[in-house]
Amino acid sequence: MRIILFGGPGAGKGTQASAICSKLGIPSVSTGNIIREAIAAGTPAGVEFKKYTEKGELVPDSLVIEMLKDRIARPDCANGYILDGFPRSIPQAEALDEMGVEIDAVVSLEVSDEEIEKRMTGRRVCPKCGESYHLVFNPPKTEMICDKCGEALIQRSDDKAETVRERLRVYHSQTEPAKAYYEKKGKLRKVDGNGNVEAITALIFKALGI
């Protein structure tokens, strides 16, 4: 199954992608995580990416599209994958079509901007494996330690209040049109992204028929 997961910053895409992955046994492809890994490794691409992510802007389409193309060509993607954070613009959605990628389902996690701003302040992520947590809604078993790999959790620099507002603006202006692209094709399934993590997971599984 090839699935696209839409949702604003902090809508819960990473958390829900993990749940879908475990259920279906397919990898989650998060362009945000790939970009953060490149930034952390200090590669030339990472240095370029940082200029955009730290302002809450999108990394240019041409760079992200190439990165995604390489990632989904890897053997672990042969039986399907979940795209978490891609496509984020109309040119990215069109690029998937041009690559000949057949998308089976598109899920959009619907969360209000007010709720998103509340959530972001509590978000913590694992810099090693990318797992995300929330201090109140989805805390790790041991305070500030990743359940999966034992690494110390961090707050992402792009989770700061003013960056979050810019990311929301970018989401509405550039990513919502990409969402509408799939709605027009009759592929979009909207899921209420407010509430507890398990209840939202159940709604997503229902929407996907899994």
Which residue number, 64 or 200, has a Cβ lying nearer to ligand AMP?
64
Residues listed for the chain: 210
Task: For the CB of residue 181, give the shortest distance to ligand AMP in the complex, in Å.
Answer: 14
Residues 6+ apart with CB under 8 A from 40: 46, 127
Question: Tokens 């990311």 identify what position?
Answer: 167
85 touches ligand AMP by CB under 6 A: yes
Question: What residue type is 192 in one-letter code?
Answer: D
Among 15, 16, 18, 31, binds ligand AMP (CB under 6 A): 31
Do residues 196 and 112 make contact, with C-beta atoms less than 8 angstroms apart? no
| Residue 74 is among the residues annotated as catalytic for this protein | no
Q: Which is nearer to ligand AMP, 59 or 111 (CB)?
A: 59
**Could you tell me if 150 and 140 are in contact, meaning their C-beta atoms sit under 8 angstroms apart?**
no
Q: Does 9 bind ligand AMP (CB under 6 A)?
A: yes
Asked if 59 is part of the footprint of ligand AMP (rule: CB under 6 A), the reply reads yes
- What gap in Å lies between CA 210 and CA 206, rounded to an integer? 6
Amino acid (one-letter) located at 61: D
> Residue 7, interface with ligand AMP (CB under 6 A)?
no
Q: Does residue 72 interact with ligand AMP by CB under 6 A?
A: no
Q: Which two tokens stand for residue 84?
A: 């978490």
Assess whether 206 carries a catalytic annotation.
no
* Strand 28-30 to 2-7 pairing: unpaired
Residue 52 as a binder of ligand AMP (CB under 6 A): the answer is: yes
Which residues are catalytic, by number? 13, 88, 123, 156, 167
Sites of contact with ligand AMP (CB under 6 A): 9, 31-32, 35, 52-53, 56-59, 64, 85-86, 88, 92, 158, 167
